[in-house]
Amino acid sequence: MAREVGLSLVSSGLSGGLACAALNPLDTLKVRYQVSPGAQGMRAFAGEIIRREGLVGGLWAPGILANSVGIGISSMGRVGAYPYVRDALVGAYGGGERAPKAIMFLAGLVAGGVGYWASSPVYQVKTLAQAEAGLVSEGILETGSRAGRPPAYHTRPLSASLASLARDRALFRGSGALVVRGALLSAGQTTGYDGVKTEARAASLPDGPALHVLASVAGALGAAVFSTPADYVMTRYQNSRDFSSVFDCARHILATEGPLAFTAASPPSSSASAPSSSLAFLSPSSSAGSAASATSDPCPVPLPKFAYLHPGSAAPSRRPPVSLPPLYSPPSLPSPFFMSIAYAG
Contacts of 269 (CB under 8 A, 6+ apart): 26, 30, 223, 224, 227, 228, 231, 345
Q: 0.85 exceeded by the pTM?
A: no
Radius of gyration of the chain (CA): 21
- Model confidence pLDDT, tens digit, residues 254-299: 999 899 888 765 555 545 555 555 555 544 443 433 333 332 333 3
**Do residues 108 and 344 touch, judged by C-beta distance below 8 A?**
no
Cα→Cα distances 187→55, 78, 92, 271, 337, Å:
32, 12, 24, 17, 25
What percentage of the chain exceeds 70 in pLDDT?
A: 71
Max Cα distance, the chain (Å): 67
- Which one of 151-160, 208-217, 301-310 scores highest in mean pLDDT? 151-160
Strands (E), the chain: 136-137, 140-141
Q: Is it the case that residue 46 has pLDDT exceeding 60?
A: yes
Report the pLDDT averaged over residues 36-60.
Answer: 91
- At residue 267, the pLDDT reads 56
Please tell me the distance from the alpha carbon of residue 205 to that of residue 141, in angstroms, as a whole number: 54
- Model confidence pLDDT, tens digit, residues 6-26: 887 888 788 878 888 888 999
